[in-house]
Structure 1
């Protein structure tokens, strides 16, 4: 095999791996999985298990609610979503406790107590098995499961 052929064979595999690593992550506990979507510049995180009472389901939601959260790049748009799908994927790479993940407009910090993900205007969420808090951007406020504003 020539060097050119070897590079041509290795390059696509390296690009595919880089895309996979850039696409998202899961926490070491495996409870929180997050995925970045290029096509609409969003970050979505899903929880396998929660032990608290989730935010109330909107009447317009016929799907699942309270275990999936989404934030848009550069906007003060974030919160739990009504969904019928999931981003839970045990093939996503693990983001170790204390490590930071960054992609596009988003930054996430993994801690033993959960995960914090925000965009450039400060909108995002803090998620853990026992609490899910929506963080509003520069215009302020936070709403957590149970409906209180922090």
Structure 2
């Protein structure tokens, strides 16, 4: 008798299984990276070869962007050390010999497939590299194979 009563419940369960199998899978998306007490945000690409620092408008007690900020600065270690700087106006600047080489400390990683946004800047991390743009339409792409600015 109990088996007959349980049969409709089991059939109902199997009827719902296809719906769960088709449920959307969570996709990567926006990633939040905490800022320091002065508003700077640091993150690296998962490879550890690219590291970025966002500095808010007005800078910090130890660093002031040349144009007052905000500013996004990303450095690539290999095959040659370069830095790309993007400000609120104008195209990104590629510095082929930045002198100071402090990249890439042990900070949060911007996971492949995820994006990060702060101020006027957005960066997208992928296995191909890191693409960052400003709200002014200028930006850059950094990877081990190449660096492009616009």
Place the TM-score, normalised by the shorter chain, in its bin. 0.5 to 0.7
Which residue among 110, 113, 116 is the counterpart of 1:101?
Answer: 116
Provide the alpha-carbon RMSD of the alignment.
2.1
Aligned residue-pair number = 104
Q: CA deviation at 1:91?
A: 1.9
Alignment map for 1:64-103 (pairs within 5 Å): 67-73=82-88, 75-81=89-95, 82-103=97-118
Q: Structure 1 stretches of 5 or more lacking a match?
A: 1-16, 52-65, 136-150
Q: CA deviation at 1:87?
A: 4.8
Alignment map for 1:131-142 (pairs within 5 Å): 131-135=146-150
Q: What is the TM-score with the length of structure 2 in the denominator?
A: 0.62
Counterpart-to-counterpart distance in 2, 1:101 and 1:77:
20
Q: What is the TM-score with the length of structure 1 in the denominator?
A: 0.62
Alignment map for 1:105-144 (pairs within 5 Å): 105-135=120-150
Q: CA deviation at 1:79?
A: 1.7
Is the Cα contact below 8 Å between 2:49 and 2:104 reproduced in 1?
no
